[in-house]
């Protein structure tokens, strides 16, 4: 789940919980809204943790093992 999806779930849950005053038979929209907001917050936390681990920079002090020299051949005609 990305940051955008998490924010969407939080906003949708807040709308269902605080702004909507409708009733659906057998479904409590306030509870559905709180569940969506919780899932959005959890997704936002998990996404932040994953991105923070991905951004860690690893530095090495070793030199490359092998250098290769590339030469350009001029004796072959270029393609048409």
Give the model confidence (pLDDT) of 17-69 as tens digits: 999 888 888 888 999 999 999 999 999 999 988 887 766 666 766 766 677 78
Rounded to two decimals, the pTM is 0.62
Find all residues with CB under 8 Å of 4, minimum gap 6, and list them.
none
Distance between CA atoms of residues 72 and 80, nearest Å? 18
Q: C-alpha dihedral over 30, 34, 37, 41, to 10 degrees?
A: 170
pLDDT at 39: 96
pLDDT at 57: 66
pLDDT at 22: 82
Distance between CA atoms of residues 35 and 30, nearest Å? 9
pLDDT at 38: 96
Length of the chain (residues):
80
Quick check: 79 pLDDT over 90?
Answer: no
pLDDT at 65: 67
pLDDT at 14: 95
């Amino acid at each position: 789940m990305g940051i955008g999806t998490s924010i969407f779930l939080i906003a949708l849950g807040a709308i269902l919980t605080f702004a909507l005053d409708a009733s659906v038979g057998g479904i409590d929209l306030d509870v559905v809204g709180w569940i969506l907001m919780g899932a959005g917050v959890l997704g936002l936390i998990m996404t932040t943790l994953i991105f923070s681990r991905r951004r860690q920079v690893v530095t090495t002090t070793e030199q490359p093992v092998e250098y290769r020299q590339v030469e350009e051949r001029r004796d072959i005609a270029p393609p048409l």
